[in-house]
Amino acid sequence: MSISHLSITQVRNLTQVTLTPSPNINVFFGLNGSGKTSVLEAVHLLGLAKSFKPARTRSMIQWEQEESVVFCKVGEAQLPVGISRRKDGKHHVKISGEPAKSTAELAELLPVQLINSDAFLLLEGSAKNRRQFLDWGVFHVEHTFFQEWQRLQKSLKNRNILLRSGKITDPLRDTWDQEFVAAATEVDRLRQRYLSGFVKEFERVLALLIDLPDLKMHYTRGWDKTKSIEDVLKNNIQRDIKSGFTNAGPQRADMKLKLHGELASDVLSRGQQKLVVCALKLAQGYYLSKQAGKKSIYLIDDLPSELDKRHINLMCQLLEEMDAQAFITCIEQQQLSTSWQRHQPKMFHVEHGRIESVSENGVQL
Ligand SMILES: Nc1ncnc2c1ncn2[C@@H]1O[C@H](COP(=O)(O)OP(=O)(O)O)[C@@H](O)[C@H]1O
Ligand SMILES: [Mg+2]
């Protein structure tokens, strides 16, 4: 799916802009503070109903305004999709004129992948960042995953409430334990099935971007790999009661990248880390397109930062080859004007919250 029409209202300094993006590559260039990142935030809001970080979502709304509105048309059918986000935290999503039941419907329609400076958290941040990344892929490829994931969250929440309430002999705990065991087993199974294919794709893309053959992914499922989750829950019960939460399970899974036993974030340069993160995100796009026939939408903020010219060109060529839609920002138009082999990208000049489509030599179209 790609976005063929985009209208942004009251997102940061973008008061009202309307664009006709290319289904392939779109480059937004302009000075600091002109509004480039805000365009990406607006598309992110459409796909995930929030900004890059939930805490930023409120600050996206233009000063002295009550709401941000982003509207687009998606895919060949030109499906209208719109979201309004208010200061009180409420949002309304409409797909084809009908209110959406959940934000998962948005995510299903618009598989948005973000690469910005926070993407380094995939390597150096907490396990939560890596689980979110992994689950995004499993969600799009495995149809039963969302349902199992919801079941896991619900049973975990209720089990933890009982652990904290001291009602440890409550028969309800058995019920929630059974639910948790069933969901945990299934979530882990689907994650592992996804990873068995995804890791190959990641190694392929990584080798195209950077020579790091010893970089390996280590998945840990969140509980002892030699024991069943039932046994682990039984063995851990005193510890769980004391801490007031469930210590083991898929909610503690992780997917670390290591080189000779050391974390990638401890040994690689910043530029190398960026290439590893890009390989992870690009591999997800390739894998999604192979497994589910879905086209990702890439939001890449300041693509050239940390990268040399050769690696900028490689990134651009992979994006072109994948045939994904991309919204990419940079400061100077020249930074990304000669990196393409197939089609010239659509270039947009961003200035003081206004956006103009320009030709390669800078002439307004
Ligand atoms: N809520 C807001 N309302 C209006 N303007 C804002 C708001 N939040 C940030 N800004 C301004 O919007 C501008 C655009 O920021 P940004 O998109 O991050 O710029 P760029 O990525 O081009 O450097 C900045 O000048 C910033 O001061
Ligand atoms: Mg920016």
31 alpha carbon, closest ligand? 1
What atom in ligand 1 is closest to the CA of residue 62?
Answer: 3
Q: What is the pLDDT of residues 244-272, one digit of tens each?
A: 999 999 999 999 999 999 999 999 999 99
- Which residues make Cβ contacts (< 8 Å) with residue 312, sequence separation at least 6? 303, 304, 335, 336, 339
The region that residue 306 occupies, defined by phi over 0 for left and psi between -120 and 50 for alpha, beta otherwise, is left
Check pLDDT > 70 for residue 125. yes
- Given this chain, do its domains 1-111+295-365 and 126-291 carry the same CATH topology? no
Quick one: pLDDT at residue 360? 60
What letter does residue 361 receive in the DSSP assignment?
T
> Token pair 């004007």 is at which residue?
337
pTM of the complete model: 0.96
Strand order in the sheet with 262-263: 215-220, 254-259, 262-263
Q: In the chain, pLDDT over 70 holds for what percent of residues? A: 98
Residue type present at position 191: R
Q: Which residues line ligand 1 (CB under 6 A)?
A: 12-13, 30, 32-38, 59, 61-63, 350
At residue 52, φ and ψ (nearest 5 deg) are -60, -40
The strand pair at 346-351 and 25-29 is best described as parallel
CA distances from 177 to 11, 166, 181 (A): 44, 15, 6
CA of 301 to the centre of ligand 1 (A): 14
Between the CA of 59 and the centroid of ligand 1 the distance, in Å, is: 10
Q: In this structure, are residues 252 and 127 in contact, taking their beta carbons and an 8 Å threshold?
A: yes
pLDDT at residue 344, rounded to an integer? 86
Which residue CA neighbors atom 10 of ligand 1 most closely? Answer: 12
- The residue-averaged pLDDT of 66-85 equals 96
Which value, in Å, is the radius of gyration of the alpha carbons in the chain?
22
Write down the architecture of domain 126-291 according to CATH: Up-down Bundle (1.20)
Protein residue closest via CA to atom 8 of ligand 1: 12
Residue 362 has pLDDT above 80, yes or no: no
Dist. CA 200–CA 204, nearest whole Å: 6
Which residues line ion ligand 2, judged by CB < 5 Å? 37
99/242 Cα distance (integer angstroms)? 44
Distance from Cα 117 to the centre of ligand 2, integer Å = 10
**Protein residue with its CA nearest to atom 24 in ligand 1:** 33
At residue 29, the pLDDT reads 98
Nearest CA owner, ligand 1 atom 13: 33
pLDDT tens digits, one per residue of 95-107: 999 999 888 999 9
The domain locations on the chain are 1-111+295-365, 126-291
Distance CA 357, CA 355 (A): 7
**Ligand lying nearest the CA atom of residue 38:** 1
Report residue 86 as tokens: 């208010």
Sheet holding 79-86, edge to edge: 14-19, 3-11, 67-74, 79-86, 91-95, 98-99
Q: Is 70 exceeded by the pLDDT of residue 361?
A: no
Confidence of residue 54 (pLDDT cuts 50, 70, 90): confident
Distance between CA atoms of residues 320 and 305, nearest Å: 19
Give me the CATH topology for the region 1-111+295-365: Rossmann fold (3.40.50)
Q: What are phi and psi of 227, to 5 degrees?
A: -120, 155
- Distance from C-alpha of 232 to C-alpha of 247, rounded to nearest angstrom: 9
Write out the two tokens for 42: 């607006």
